[in-house]
Amino acid sequence: MSKKSSKSAECVRVIIRCRPMSEKETNDGHERVVDMDTKRGVVSIRNPKDPSAAPKEFTFDSVYDWNSKQQDLYEETFRDLVESVLDGFNGTVFAYGQTGTGKTFTMQGVKSDPELRGMIPNSFEHIFQHISRSENQQYLVRASYLEIYQEEIRDLLSKDQSRRLELKERPDTGVYVKDLSSFVTKSVKEIEHVMNVGDKNRSVGIQSTVSLN
C-alpha cells in the first residue's frame, strides 16, 4: 500500500500548523522556540532557558510551517476527506488550539481572496462544483451550525439563543443533537449565508469544527 493510500485509509489524522510570530511578539523581544520539519512531519521545541538541552520532538501525520499556503493545505490535507464525504462517508475537521493561534484563519481565512480562503469556504466550493458536474447522481446538502461552549450546546441558527440543546443517541443513527436546526442549501451563496447567520451568534474563544455528512 502506498504512503498516500495508507494515510487516506486512516480514521483519524493529526495535522499541525504553526503560524508566524506576530509583530507584537517580535517587538516585545520574544523568540521562536518551535521548529518544523515538514518533510518528516516533526515538530521540535527548544527550551530557551536551557540552550544546552536537546529539543523535544513530536511526530504527526503532517506538519505545516509559517510559510504554508491555504490552498496547499486544503489540497494536501482536506480534499481527500471532502471527496470521501461525496462518496457517502462521514467526515469531520476539528481545529484545536489556544486563542490567537490561527484556528479561524485556517478554517475560514479571507473569503474575498481566493488565495487566503480557508478550509470551510474551499470545501463549499469543492462540494458544489462536484454537484454541478454530476450527471447520474443526486445530492442533498443540509447545513447546521452549533456551538459547544462551557459544556453547553447552542444552535447558532435558532431564533432562541437562550435555549440549550441535548446530546442524544439512537441505535440506527448514532449520536445526534436533539432539535438542531437544519437548512437545505443549493449553492455556495446559500450555505455561506447560513454560516454568516451563525457567525453572528458565536461566543468568543471557541474551537472551530466542521462536520460533513
Whether 98 has a binding-site annotation, put simply, is yes
Q: Where does 20-130 show beta strands of DSSP type E?
A: 34-37, 42-45, 56-59, 62-64, 91-95
Whether 173 has a binding-site annotation, put simply, is no
Whether 101 has a binding-site annotation, put simply, is yes
Pairing of strands 15-17, 62-64: parallel
Report helix, strand or coil for 99: coil
Question: Rounded to whole angstroms, how far apart are CA atoms 28 and 43?
Answer: 24
Whether 97 has a binding-site annotation, put simply, is yes
Whether 103 has a binding-site annotation, put simply, is yes
Name 146's bridge partners: 155
Hey, what's the cell of 33? 522556540
Element holding 4 (H helix, E strand): helix 3-9
Residue 132 — φ and ψ, nearest 5°? -65, -25
Hey, what's the cell of 180? 438542531
b/e burial code for range 11-33 (CB count within 10 A of at least 16 → b): eeeebbbbbeeeeeeeeeeeeee
Whether 109 has a binding-site annotation, put simply, is no
Whether 59 has a binding-site annotation, put simply, is no
Could you list the residues known to form a binding site for ATP, using ranges. Answer: 97-104
* Residue positions forming the annotated binding site: 97-104
